[in-house]
């Protein structure tokens, strides 16, 4: 029953046995539990390492079993923090995949035109996108990070999107949740959805990306500055990896019409939005407020306001306390 916390079957038996027979010696406990003394001592060492057994203050040669309300709760919090850290590492890994693919494509920019093409500057990128938009016949996948999109970017995309949708092309676009707070981007996304496009949002998205008919992909040379240009690649391996990255992000995103709130994990979680949950995970990983804002596509002020609101809801006076209480509620 406690294997999820890192205890194997024999070690759990020993822990339960010591709770039931706190004064039993090694030989007596070995007999009661049907374990060899060697296996019993191995389990005792593991329980000490996990801080479920402590040395007795009255007799340092004896071990004292820790109350399960204290010891097991500590193990649960540790495992929750570990899971939150692993989820954050996975999110960073997904972003690293997209960056690595873009860097690899840039290094291969001297390859033949049919494999990869380096597009330097916004005009070169816009010209290639216009050509690809005219050629697309079935599907276009797009990721637009960074929250609010510039008016110039939206104006340049509108005629291309309208033409593609008019020809029956399936258009799937992924934005960050923060676009729901920007009227210009939100209006454009709603217009696109009314025309037949599918729009979803999530708190954190991979770097900017466009894929046409699952055969051609366009990624920025520098994900942090799309004005520098882009790489257009038709390499089947690279395109397949980028399609997989898009689909992973798309599956966990919310349709534009949804309110963006996640399902309840337990009491109180029904009011926790995916953005708030992501903010807790990011801050639990040790990132600063400024770094969290960049990841979520929101301002530093918004991050601090959201964190203050979360601390108030949790009844916490510090971020450390907020992290512990959020973990207990299953918010992490």
Partners of 55 in the β-ladder: 63
Question: 150: which DSSP letter?
Answer: P
Question: 321: which residues sit within 8 A by CB, 6+ positions away?
Answer: 314
Strand ranges in 33-154 using DSSP code E only, listed in sequence order: 53-55, 63-65, 116-120, 139-144
Q: What pLDDT, on a 0 to 100 scale, did the predictor assign at position 330?
A: 64
Residue pair 185/174 in contact by the 8 Å Cβ criterion: no
Residue 217 has what pLDDT?
Answer: 94
pLDDT for position 6:
65
Q: Identify the pLDDT of residue 211.
A: 94
Please answer whether residues 208 and 125 qualify as being in contact, where contact means their C-beta atoms are separated by less than 8 angstroms: no
- Which SS3 state, helix, strand or coil, does residue 50 take? coil
- Planar angle of CA 172, 174, 176, nearest 5 degrees: 165
Kindly state the DSSP code that residue 242 receives in the 8-state scheme: H
Please report the sign of the dihedral spanned by the C-alpha atoms of residue 316, residue 317, residue 319, residue 321: negative
State residue 3's pLDDT score: 65
Per-residue pLDDT for the chain (332 aa), expressed as one digit of tens each? Answer: 666 666 777 877 877 787 787 777 778 788 888 888 888 888 888 877 777 776 666 666 677 777 776 667 777 777 777 777 888 888 888 777 777 776 765 655 544 445 678 888 888 888 888 889 888 999 999 998 877 778 887 888 888 888 888 888 999 999 888 888 788 888 888 888 888 888 888 888 888 899 999 999 999 988 878 788 899 999 998 999 999 999 988 888 888 765 544 443 334 444 667 777 777 777 666 677 777 777 777 777 887 887 788 777 777 777 667 766 776 666 66
Best CA proximity match to 225, nearest among 208, 247, 243, 206:
208
């Amino acid at each position: 029953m406690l294997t999820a916390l890192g205890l194997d079957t024999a070690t759990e038996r020993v822990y339960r046995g010591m709770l039931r027979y706190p004064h039993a010696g090694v030989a007596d406990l070995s007999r009661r539990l049907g374990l060899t003394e060697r296996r019993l001592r191995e389990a005792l060492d593991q329980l000490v390492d996990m801080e479920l057994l402590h040395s007795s203050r009255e007799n340092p040669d004896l071990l004292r079993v820790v109350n399960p309300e204290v010891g097991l709760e500590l193990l649960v919090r540790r495992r929750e923090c570990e899971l939150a850290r692993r989820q954050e590492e996975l999110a960073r890994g997904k972003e690293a995949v997209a960056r690595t693919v873009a860097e690899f494509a840039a290094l291969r920019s001297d390859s033949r035109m049919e494999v990869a093409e380096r597009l330097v500057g916004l005009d070169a990128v816009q010209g290639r996108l216009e050509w690809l938009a005219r050629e697309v016949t079935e599907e276009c996948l797009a990721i637009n990070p960074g929250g609010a999109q510039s008016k110039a970017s939206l104006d340049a995309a509108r005629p291309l999107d309208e033409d593609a949708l008019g020809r029956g092309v399936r258009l799937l676009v992924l934005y960050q949740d923060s676009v729901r707070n920007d009227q210009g981007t939100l209006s454009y996304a709603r217009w696109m959805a009314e025309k037949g496009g599918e729009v979803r949002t999530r708190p954190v998205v991979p770097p900017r990306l466009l894929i046409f008919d699952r055969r051609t992909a366009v990624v920025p040379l520098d994900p942090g500055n799309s004005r520098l240009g882009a790489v257009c690649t038709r390499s089947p391996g690279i395109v397949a990896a980028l399609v997989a990255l898009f689909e992973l992000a798309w599956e966990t995103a919310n349709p534009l019409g949804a309110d963006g709130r996640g399902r309840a994990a337990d009491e109180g979680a029904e009011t926790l939005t995916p953005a708030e949950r992501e903010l807790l995970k990011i801050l639990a990983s040790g990132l600063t407020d400024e770094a969290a804002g960049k990841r979520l596509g929101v301002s530093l002020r918004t991050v601090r306001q959201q964190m203050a609101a979360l601390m108030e809801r949790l009844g916490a006076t510090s971020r450390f306390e907020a992290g512990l209480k959020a973990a207990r509620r299953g918010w992490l």
